Structure 1
Amino acid sequence: MPSKKIKTPLEPGKVYHIYNRGNNHHRVFFKDSDYSLFLEKLSKYLADYCSIYAYVLIPNHYHLVLRVNDDLEVNELSNQFLKFSLSYTNKINFEESRNGSLFLSHFRRIHVDTEDYLRRLIFYLHHNPTKHEMIKDFKNYPNSSYKSLISDKPTRLARKNVLKLFGTKEEFINYHQVLHNEAIIKKYLFDEGE
């Protein structure tokens, strides 16, 4: 029976945690330029369909937080997501001389239904590289949205919406200074065997 995390429809006006990982836990990013390629494809295929609040790209998986545009049909974003995933996979397969699926066959999606959960989730994404012991201080990780959200440089992220959720940029930074209880959102994360 397919998981609710695969079958949940992407409905207009709602916020979702979307994530996926490489088949058999294999890498989905092979070199530094792959992270930029992923973000370029993400912007190309999804920017007109949703607002991207946050992301983190880890060598064998990714997490996104996004809000589906109000004017879309149910699952219209899912169709675009498939195009995005296939485009990225085809480019990586060509560059890495590989064949087949790069990601698990279905991306996971979880409806984010409260502002508290959304704040904790954004922190969780940004803290993910430290959790996986890839870097000591997540604020220095180059493949997450943290630096873009606190920067004044142009971005495709929904920076104003995210910072407003925390109050101000300073409150956003302060929120990220405290280690939050992961157990509160643990039930929403990868299931064993998924």
Structure 2
Amino acid sequence: MKTIPLEYGNFYHIYNRGINGCNLFQENENYEYFLHLYDKYISLVAETFAWVLMRNHFHLLVRIKSVKEIPFMDETPEGLKNASGTGTNLSVSSRPESVSKKYKPTNQFSHLFNAYTKAINKRYHRTGSLFEHPFRRIKVESEYHLKYLVYYIHHNPIHHGFCEHYLDYPWSSYLTIVSPKTTKLSRKEVLNWFRDKSNFEKYHSQEHINKFNEMNIDFSGDK
């Protein structure tokens, strides 16, 4: 698959799996830690609208922020230390661009996958890559595609036989979208695509025909 760039201001379906189909998540703590790292690295450069974490793969629907929405990276020694993931927090600077640079979306995803890989390798005494390279991305260019992609992501656990109903799967954004609890997920925007919560739930309860070739993702043997 040809790798396309992540362009500022555009929506993308981002997905990937473990190298050679290996498991990415082995216990609940793994899912939780991946989401922690996701917030740490990706919230700076993208809005998230839907997600699902499966045992050996994941799917995300994101909008890469515009250049103006992305903060500057502090290039002081301490700032670079934090940005590399070795410090306690990512450092965001308001200094002029002449002495700072913007966080790059592709780099942030790489930081996420590298940090998670290091943690998994250490915990389970393994070595080498964990994710397939490069991570996969498809540009989303219509509202219908956005709506279907939300549906597709939330139905992924059913497709792979993990549950009979999307309400029963804990590692997706569906429960967050129908919940009133505070979240960093772009829930309001998602519900607006479906007009309201009632229509969002109704859309998910119906069967929709796949009209997008890219949804026929060949993750043979995935689980």
- TM-score, normalised to structure 1, is 0.92
Letter of the structure 2 residue corresponding to residue 169 of structure 1: K
* Count of residue pairs brought into register by the alignment: 188
> Which structure is larger by alpha-carbon Rg, 1 or 2?
2
Contact 1:9–1:75 (8 Å) recurs in 2:
no
What's the RMSD between the two structures over aligned residues? 1.8
- 1:139 aligns with one of 167, 172, 185: 167
Q: Equivalent residues in 2 for 1:1-194 (5 A)?
A: 3-4=1-2, 7-71=3-67, 76-182=104-210, 184-191=211-218
Deviation at 1:33, TM superposition (A): 1.1
SS state of the match for residue 55, structure 1?
strand
Contact 2:13–2:138 (8 Å) recurs in 1:
yes
Deviation at 1:74, TM superposition (A): 10
SS state of the match for residue 212, structure 2?
helix
SS state of the match for residue 167, structure 1?
coil
Alpha-carbon distance change, 30 to 150 in structure 1, aligned in 2, over 3 angstroms: same
Deviations 1:121-177 (A, max 9, x none): 110000000011111111210000000011010111011111111111111111111
Letter of the structure 1 residue corresponding to residue 157 of structure 2: P
Deviation at 1:190, TM superposition (A): 2.6
Alpha-carbon distance change, 189 to 87 in structure 1, aligned in 2, over 3 angstroms: farther
Aligned equivalents of 1:24, 1:148: Cα separation in 2: 31
Deviation at 1:188, TM superposition (A): 4.1
**Identity among equivalent pairs (%):** 39
Letter of the structure 2 residue corresponding to residue 21 of structure 1: R
Deviations 1:90-141 (A, max 9, x none): 1111111111111102100000000001100110000000011111111210
